[in-house]
Amino acid sequence: MVMLCWRRSGKRNCSHRGGDPNGRFKGLMWYKDLGVHANGEFSMAVIQANNLMEDQSQLESGPLSSMKLGPQGTFVGVYDGHGGPETSRFINNSIFSNLKKFASEHQELSADAIRKSFLKTEEEFLSLVKRQWQEKPQIATVGSCCLAGVICSGLLYTANVGDSRAVLGRVDKSAKSVAAIQLSTEHNASIESVRDELRSLHPEDSQIVVLKHNVWRVKGIIQVSRSIGDAYLKKSEFNQAPLLARFRLPEPFSEPILSAEPSISVHKLSSKDQFVIFASDGLWDHLSNQEAVDIVHSHPRNGIARELIKAALHIAAKKREMRYSDLKKIDRGVRRHFHDDITVVVVFIDPYSMNRSSSRRSILSIRGGTPSSPKISVQEIRPASLDSTSESPALFDGTTRLYISYVCPFAQRPWIARNFKGLQDKIELVPIDLQNRPVWYKEKVYPQNKVPSLEHNNKVIGESLDLVKYIDSNFEGPFLLPDDPEKQKFAEELIAYSDTFLKEIYANFKGDIEKHAGPQFDYLEKALDKFDDGPFFLGQFSQVDIVYAPFVERFQIFLKEGLNYDITSGRPKLAKWTEELNKLDSYIQTKADPKEVVDLYKKKYLVVTHKRKTE
């Protein structure tokens, strides 16, 4: 929140600079390039990375209470959700009205009114959790950081729970530069003082902070020590069934583990204070305070919030050794493995307006975010399969072609890799009818007469595992293997094991599935538990997921329909993995027709009707 307080005078509405008064959308970005608030100008921008947008934000300029002659100003809030969007959306709809309520009761804007607005919003959300607990227990695991700032009567209040950040840009005229001054206090277990605070609050709990995979987490689960929401770590009644087992603590607790108490600072504004950057941690993951302040100081105000996000994304791309242009092609969901949702609000402070508060009034309410309608995935039109009557394409003419079959899981592997790397315009898809193959394919393209194969640089390469690695190494786009040596080694192990996995499953379709094939799915469950920085085998989506996905997809369909065996039953990691896979457009667009899978597998593997034993 950011607010400037002044007394009401003549009526004047805020002018809408920067185009659309409600902001605009461009791809995964929402932005309001320039607008006017009570005591200056502002710029806002949001970029989506998660499948569902978890960041929320708002700017309110006008009355800060319900009193006729009460304080007025500009309110800015940045709410970085985790576990889902429910809490951040709730805050976006509640905290400002709560602030106005307490400012009215106090008859002024104060740090105590801000504090009470945080705690009241927390209380209201936990009440919502209690009402929905039995029908929707997952809501107990949803929470949000909450950053707020208020400018009033020459004072700048900053309140925070979590790890979003507010940074002031103060001009140093003698040095002709702008200094970065952090206004907010962060609550993240990566900070030693936060760990010390948690240990002092929970002296009997040796596991209050745990280092897992080089990341400090509260109870080994969450990084932030303060938040709104996260009821399962606030009240023991929400840390039991029907909550999923992975969120439950081994012992009940009597005192809240996380807190919603905000850290509040009050700063007296001077003519040297030029602007404040309010942003979720997605920005600060890639930019230092000084780097962000320097960017704002050296660029025009119009579109500066977008400029900050662009700078962060350039660095995010560089960290993954990819081009910014390639990062921009990656769709939501997959994007989360490269950067977080990022919200930026830059509030410029006009020093002269501090002395003109009695003669001006600006009324504005704007919320940053994503389109209200669901994002429509752009589907690639599948070309018809070529058969013995089809003419061959103009072979070895410089075009890169991937020869596949829509029913072949091996061919699906490089197809997914192609899509994930955004190569639809650079690698042409050529489907082959395996039941009626064109003669020219064997004679002129691939003598082995199998799919998949790749025609590239006047040569043809085969074998699905080799093709996945080849596409990843020889084409632009996000890399499908992380830099971490431990993860690379594990990837080699899992990919090498894939042949054994397939042989064991296929060999036991007619036997006792639970006894013989079940251990193979247990193997995947255990592998998915090795890294906790994402739902996939290596945390982020990788070659390993591509190797297993086409087959697990078919096994899940056929074993459920044909043998009444659910491969995800009792395997929560595998269930989550399949759920997350089915959020990726690069995978969804390659999926086989479920009915065709069942019919094909029944014909090939089942001689008689085979039912799973239920005893």
Digit-coded pLDDT (tens) for 126-149: 999 999 998 889 899 999 999 999
> Using 50, 70 and 90 to split pLDDT, how confident is the model at 352?
low
Distance CA 592, CA 553 (A): 9
pLDDT at 484 over 90: no
DSSP 517: I
Distance CA 586, CA 415 (A): 9
pLDDT at 361 over 80: no
- DSSP string of 319-365, one letter each residue: HTT--HHHHTTSPTTGGGGT---EEEEEEE--GGGGG-GGG----EE
The contacts of residue 439 (CB under 8 Å, 6+ apart) are 388
The contacts of residue 321 (CB under 8 Å, 6+ apart) are 479, 483
pLDDT at 116 over 70: yes
pLDDT at 614 over 50: no
Q: Which amino acid is at 568?
A: T
Annotated domain spans of the chain: 24-188+224-368, 401-605
Distance CA 275, CA 349 (A): 5
Burial class (CB in 10 A: 0-12, 13-18, 19+), 265: middle
Side-chain-side CA neighbours of 280 within 13 Å: the count stands at: 31
% of the chain beyond a pLDDT of 70:
91
The contacts of residue 307 (CB under 8 Å, 6+ apart) are 295, 299
Query: Which pLDDT belongs to residue 371?
Result: 40
Query: Which pLDDT belongs to residue 321?
Result: 86
The contacts of residue 350 (CB under 8 Å, 6+ apart) are 39, 40, 41
pLDDT at 357 over 70: no
CATH architecture of 24-188+224-368: 4-Layer Sandwich (3.60)
The contacts of residue 323 (CB under 8 Å, 6+ apart) are 317, 476
> Using 50, 70 and 90 to split pLDDT, how confident is the model at 21?
low
Q: H-helix or E-strand containing 167? A: strand 165-172
Tokens of 540: 């982020």
Query: Which pLDDT belongs to residue 9?
Result: 31
149 beta partners: 76, 158
Three-state helix/strand/coil letters over 428-486: EEEEECCCCCCHHHHHHHCCCCCCCEEEECCEEEECHHHHHHHHHHHCCCCCCCCCCHH
User: pTM value?
Assistant: 0.66
Distance CA 542, CA 472 (A): 10
CA 246 to chain centre: 20
Distance CA 135, CA 146 (A): 27
Query: Which pLDDT belongs to residue 1?
Result: 38
Q: Is the backbone peptide bond immediately before 85 cis, with ω within 30 degrees of 0?
A: no
How many Cβ atoms from other residues are within 10 Å of residue 132's Cβ? 14
Instruction: Please name which of 503, 521, 615 lies closest in space to residue 559, comparing C-alpha atoms.
Output: 521
The contacts of residue 296 (CB under 8 Å, 6+ apart) are 169, 178, 275, 277, 304, 308, 346
- Beta strands in 369-432, from DSSP E residues, in sequence order: 401-404, 428-431
> Using 50, 70 and 90 to split pLDDT, how confident is the model at 2?
very low
Average per-residue pLDDT for the chain? 87
Q: Is there a shared CATH topology between the 24-188+224-368 domain and the 401-605 domain?
A: no
CATH number of 401-605: 1.20.1050.10
How many Cβ atoms from other residues are within 10 Å of residue 383's Cβ? 10
Distance CA 251, CA 493 (A): 36
Q: H-helix or E-strand containing 211? A: strand 209-212
For the stretch 543-564, pLDDT in tens is 999 999 999 999 999 988 878 8
Distance CA 197, CA 234 (A): 17
Using alpha carbons, list the distances in angstroms from residue 169 to 290, 369, 507.
9, 25, 67
Query: Which pLDDT belongs to residue 586?
Result: 86
Q: Which amino acid is at 565?
A: Y
pLDDT at 101 over 50: yes
Pairing of strands 209-212, 72-82: unpaired
307 beta partners: none
For the stretch 497-543, pLDDT in tens is 999 999 988 887 766 777 878 999 999 999 999 987 788 999 889 99
User: What angle is formed at CA 335 by the lines to CA 333 and CA 341, rounded to 5 degrees?
Assistant: 90
Residues 409/452, Cβ–Cβ less than 8 Å: no
pLDDT at 600 over 90: no
326 vs 415, which has greater pLDDT? 415
Instruction: Please name which of 409, 421, 411 lies closest in space to residue 541, comparing C-alpha atoms.
Output: 421
Distance CA 140, CA 124 (A): 13
Distance CA 141, CA 210 (A): 19
Using alpha carbons, list the distances in angstroms from residue 461 to 439, 442, 452.
18, 13, 9
Give the three-class secondary structure for 8.
Answer: coil
How many Cβ atoms from other residues are within 10 Å of residue 344's Cβ? 30
Span 312-341, average pLDDT: 90
pLDDT at 65 over 80: yes
Distance CA 44, CA 276 (A): 12
Query: Which pLDDT belongs to residue 55?
Result: 93
For the stretch 437-473, pLDDT in tens is 999 999 999 999 999 999 999 999 999 999 999 999 8
State the angle between helix axes of 304-319 and 289-298 in degrees (0 to 180), rounded to the nearest 10. 130
Give the three-class secondary structure for 87.
Answer: helix
